[in-house]
Amino acid sequence: MKEKRVDLEYSYRDALQTAQIEELRRDFGASRISDLVPRQPAVTFGVVRSVTYPGHGSARLFKVALGDGTAVVELIWPGRTEVPGLEPGRLLLAGGLVAETADGLAIMSPEYQIVEDDA
């Protein structure tokens, strides 16, 4: 069985939320995703754009695409098939060591905090 990816519909959090995301990012003192540097620790903030569940028989890697309007970083949890509470549309503060992969920037086993919309 192949991986299953669940995407956020673009219209859900677009231009209006981009300003809110930027304001919250500043409030948390987090970096823009576009400013992340490989092999450096970082804390960033954004909205979960998609989640990818590992397929049956494939490597157990739960993946989240986190975007902030400047770029997208992939958050990867090895050994996990899901992380409760992480779903498209959630606001998320995440941090860890930034890695460069064939698909772009990623943070493996990030520390994270779900942020409520009324933050």
DSSP letters, 40-87, are SEEEEEEEEEEEEEPPTTS--EEEEEEE-SS-EEEEEEET-S--TT--
pLDDT digits (tens, 9 = 90+) for 83-95: 999 999 899 999 9
Query: What is the mean pLDDT of the segment spanning 8-33?
Result: 77
Taking the model in full, what pTM does it have? 0.86
Query: Which residue did the predictor score with more confidence, 38 or 13?
Result: 38
Give the total number of structural domains in the chain: 1
CATH at 41: 2.40.50.430
**What H or E segment, with its residue span, contains residue 106?**
strand 104-108
Instruction: Give the domain extent around 12.
Output: 4-115
